[in-house]
Amino acid sequence: MSSMIQLLESRVLFSSIAAFVGDGAQLATDVGGARADVLQYAKTLTGDVRSIAADTRGLPASSEKRGLLNTLRTDGLKSAAVLRADVRSIVTVATSNGKRTIADAIHVFEHPTNLTYIARLASDIIAIGSGLDAPLAKLQSDVAAGRSALLADLNNLAAANPSDAALQSHVQQIGADSQSAIDKLTADGQTIQTDLQSLGQTLGG
Cα Rg of the chain (Å, integer): 24
| pLDDT tens digits, 178-192 | 888 888 888 887 887
What integer is the mean pLDDT of 48-67? Answer: 80
Least confident range of 13-22, 37-46, 49-58? 13-22
Phi and psi (nearest 5°) for 163? -90, -5
What is the domain count for the chain? 1
Q: Are 45 and 177 in contact (CB under 8 A)?
A: yes
Dihedral sign of CA atoms 188, 194, 199, 202 in order: negative
What CA–CA distance (Å, rounded) separates 44 from 76? 11
* Beta strands per DSSP E along the chain: none
Question: Model confidence at 166, in pLDDT bands (50, 70, 90)?
Answer: confident
> Which amino acid is residue 128, in one-letter code?
I
Q: Which domain holds residue 147?
A: 2-204
Report residue 37 CA to chain centroid gap. Answer: 7
Residue 164 three-state SS: coil
Report residue 108 CA to chain centroid gap. Answer: 30
Count CB neighbours of 51 within 10 A: 16
Dihedral sign of CA atoms 203, 16, 197, 103 in order: positive
Total residues found in the chain within this entry: 205
Burial of 113 (0-12, 13-18, 19+ CB in 10 A): exposed
| pLDDT tens digits, 90-111 | 778 777 766 677 677 767 767 7
- pLDDT above 90 as % of the chain: 0
> Does residue 81 carry a pLDDT above 50?
yes
* Angstrom distances, CA of residue 183 to CA of 39, 91, 149, 180, 192: 15, 20, 18, 5, 15
